Chain A
Amino acid sequence: MADTKSDYFVPHGSPWPIVASVSMFVMALGGALWLNGSDAGRTVLLLGLAGLTFMMFGWLGTVIRENIAGLYSGWVDRSFRQGMAWFIFSEVMFFFGFFGALFYARVLAVPWLGGDGIGEATNSLLWSGFESEWPTNGPGEIGGDAEGGFQTIGWSGLPLLNTALLLTSSVTITIAHHALKNNNRRLLNIGTLLTIVLGAVFLYVQAFEYVHAYQDLDLRLSTGIYGSTFFMLTGFHGAHVTLGVIMLVVTYIRILRGHFTPNEHFGFQAVSWYWHFVDVVWVCLFIFVYVL
């Protein structure tokens, strides 16, 4: 840690956080109005989103300019790294909540409804005849087709392909990272571009799978606890992949502009960490949602 003044860059005031807060407020307001069935809701929501996008350009733009101007020491860089790591940890905990719901339903709630353990009376008095199984849309057969039935997506088809895609993309981004460290710009370009392509194809396959589920399998968000956990987990994961792809595209543009150096590339590093995180979540999804 340094002991000279000005070594740690402290900005003096910034308008961007307040723009961010106001945009967040507008988004929340719009979203709530929309859910309450008000016509203005969507417009307000989009307005907030636009504000948030504007803020991202402004805030991150400022940070990038400061970085290029050489205001950041390695010390500041370390703050950024640690901050990003903890942010990713908070995201892990968010997914942990949804995985928790999945495990709870499979291991406890559904067997109890079927009469296991403390569920004996529940089953015989409320849901008599219901047998615990997985996948299920519950004793009330919520959602599904006219008879309450539905099918699930097997793991060996598209999900396996998607697993391969994401795992490969993890490799390509690592290759790009090493290329950056060795100042091999060509390989860096190719590796990043490949990662973007793989991510985009993953999203395409995922969208395709969703359409298939909705149209042919009677598997929807409303299909009982299976549909709920399936779509919320894969949906939030997909949203994170989308965000990751956007971040990668921005990174790619920055690479083309020659922004990162072998020793100093927090932006790249952060995106690559995020990408690995998304990848690990997918592996858990693949195992616990699709295979088991």
Chain B
Amino acid sequence: MSDTTHEEHHDGPHASGMWRWLTTTNHKDIGTLYLVFSLIMFLVGGTMALIIRTELFQPGLQLVDPHFFNQMTTMHALVMIFGALMPAFVGLANWQIPLMVGAPDMALPRMNNWSFWILPPAFLLLLGTLFMPGGAPAGGWTLYPPLILQTGDAFPFVVFSLHMLGASSILGAINIIVTITNMRAPGMGFMKMPLFVWTWLITAYLLIGAMPVLAGAITMLLTDRYFDTSFFLAAGGGDPVMFQHIFWFFGHPEVYILILPAFGIISQVIPTFSRKPLFGYVSMVIATSAIAFLSYVVWAHHMFTVGMPAAGMLFFMITTMFIAVPTGVKIFNWLATMWRGSISFETPMLFAVAFVILFTIGGFSGLMLALVPADIEYHDTYFVVAHFHYVLVPGAIFGVIAGVYYWLPKWTGHMYNETLGKWHFWLSTIFVNILFFPQHFLGLASMPRRIPDYSVQFTEFNMISTVGAFGFGLSQLLFVWMLVKCVKGGEKASTEVWDDPEGLEWTVPSPAPYHTFETAPKV
């Protein structure tokens, strides 16, 4: 085995068939791999969600036994976060960042391949636990001890799988940072970079800061279980609450890892379809940095009910509420960009506008949760579930979808079917609200989360929510259909695709050739 390192010019892939995909070092190939993997995981995680929602259609136990229900809630979250959302964003970064900064490829192409190919084996380990004695982990994606230490044979598989996913994220993040800092075309100064590139730069910093801490936390879980350490054992002088602190030191930056790239996508889409430059570019960059910085000092807002000195609660409450300020700056900038623009509502724009509105709902419920006295009431109820699903589904996932519709013509060379896109949008948006809005009411009425059964007074809202879930899930099949059709053919896309959009990616032909910007463009 040896690398093909010929100097002569290659126009296409260096190999064919499966070997091409296994060994590719091309950022577009790797981006495609990430995106396809993410779509598969989105469907796997979605199926788990539908199992959960089916069980919750009625009070009482009908479909699955409670232990399996708990495995589903745990695995659904892990699959969606580490399998669907994070790889989707890295896939978009792979495709777009070199195109947007005018680089010939990612800075470290072999490592780029590695960070992708760690994912499938890691998920083999994780999903394989479903078939092991004792089943998959069932203690929640937050892995709190001592409960999670009672997992069966699956336990070390979960830990090692997460180690691998962390390694993949760190390698990917290093690659993205180096590409952005070292590979920009001449003239592409930092303050000229598109916002998607900016938000990803900051996200990558968050990844490198947060993922190693998660690795440490799960290593402590592992040694507590198998090597008799006492990190989370009070009798030995440790503290189970300490796990929560370490986990959320990772966990809160993680939720911003899941949203900042979406902010970036929305900041690309809205100006294009408003036919105006982005309002407040500099303030967007500053706001994103401020959010990233604050995200490291708010973690204990997930722990208001576990016991903490009052001064600690105050500190974490106030810092959490501060985050609303830069977030608000961003929302108003998007609105100001649209203000008096000549707006047209193609599918990417529809998803972007829905993002702005629905993400804001999630932000507001977050603020409610940030208030200590209120959170003591809401914590671990469906209100929290409604909050984070509003920021994650019509937030992060809508962001990904908007990005996919926006750049798909550039990738495939074909326009997607606009009618299908519109249907996909309206059905998704209607059903996502039917799915998650009632969960606010359930939470305010104190229905606990992560429980397969509930008191009868919660029935109606649960039924509505389940109907919404199936509607939303089925609508995504339209998305898959649209994707397949667009890859296979369709109206030819022009170089610019949209109406005079800004950015280097719109200066290369559609579909983007296998190698772009081998000679750096002048900006």
Contact = CB atoms under 8 A, between A and B. Distances in A.
B227 A105 contact: no
B338 interface: no
A257 interface: no
Chain B interface, >50% SS class: helix
B303 interface: no
A118 interface: yes
Given A79-B108, A224-B230, A8 B14 contact: no
Contacts of B228: 142-143, 221-222
Given A104-B239, A105-B237, A226-B237, A11 B213 contact: no
Contacts, number: 267
A98 interface: yes
Contacts of A112: 239
Interface in A8-65: 8, 10-18, 20-22, 24-25, 28-29, 31-32, 35-36, 58-59, 62
B212 A138 contact: no
Contacts of B5: 11-12, 62, 66, 69, 71
A97 interface: yes
B22 A18 contact: yes
A32 B23 contact: no
B174 to A, nearest CB: 5
A221 B227 contact: yes
B215 interface: yes
A268 B456 CA distance: 68
Nearest to B20: A13
B393 to A, nearest CB: 30
Interface stretch (B241-249, B419-427, B489-497): B241-249
Interface string B204-236: 000011111101110110110011111101111
B147 interface: no
Q: Which of B103, B121, B238 has the most CB of A within 10 A?
A: B238
Contact of A221 (B3, B223, B246): B223
Interface in A67-109: 69, 71, 75, 78-80, 82-83, 86-87, 89-91, 93-94, 96-98, 100-101, 104-105, 108-109
Interface in B340-380: none
Given A28-B160, A91-B212, A140-B236, A12 B184 contact: no
Contact of A228 (B1, B118, B186, B231): B231
Given A24-B121, A118-B307, A17 B110 contact: yes
A17 B242 contact: no
Contacts of A136: 237
B15 interface: yes
A11 B216 contact: no
Interface string B115-149: 00110111011000000000000000000000000
Contact of A101 (B164, B246, B522): B246
Given A79-B182, A224-B230, A18 B125 contact: no
**Size band of the interface chain B makes with A:** 35 or more
Interface residues of A, number: 79
B237 A101 contact: no
A24 B120 CA distance: 12
Nearest to A93: B212
A75 B520 CA distance: 13
A169 to B, nearest CB: 25
B493 to A, nearest CB: 26
A80 to B, nearest CB: 8
Contact of B235 (A36, A58, A142): A142
A25 B160 CA distance: 9
Contact of B174 (A86, A127, A226, A228): A86
A139 interface: yes
A31 B25 contact: no
Nearest to B219: A232
B124 A25 contact: yes
Nearest to B157: A32
Given A118-B308, A137-B236, A13 B111 contact: no
B418 interface: no
A28 B125 contact: yes
B242 A105 contact: yes
A284 B226 CA distance: 28
A225 B231 contact: yes
A5 interface: yes
A96 B242 CA distance: 14
A247 interface: no
A138 B423 CA distance: 61
Contacts of B236: 137-138, 140, 142-143, 224-225, 228
A181 to B, nearest CB: 23
Interface of A: 1-6, 8, 10-18, 20-22, 24-25, 28-29, 31-32, 35-36, 58-59, 62, 66, 69, 71, 75, 78-80, 82-83, 86-87, 89-91, 93-94, 96-98, 100-101, 104-105, 108-110, 112-113, 117-118, 126-127, 136-140, 142-143, 221-222, 224-229, 231-232
22 contacts: A1-B185, A10-B104, A10-B109, A12-B3, A13-B13, A18-B113, A24-B118, A28-B121, A28-B125, A28-B157, A28-B161, A32-B160, A86-B174, A90-B208, A104-B245, A109-B238, A139-B234, A139-B237, A143-B228, A222-B227, A222-B229, A222-B230
Given A1-B186, A10-B25, A28-B121, 12 more contacts: A11-B25, A15-B23, A18-B117, A21-B120, A25-B124, A28-B164, A35-B156, A82-B177, A104-B242, A221-B228, A225-B238, A227-B230
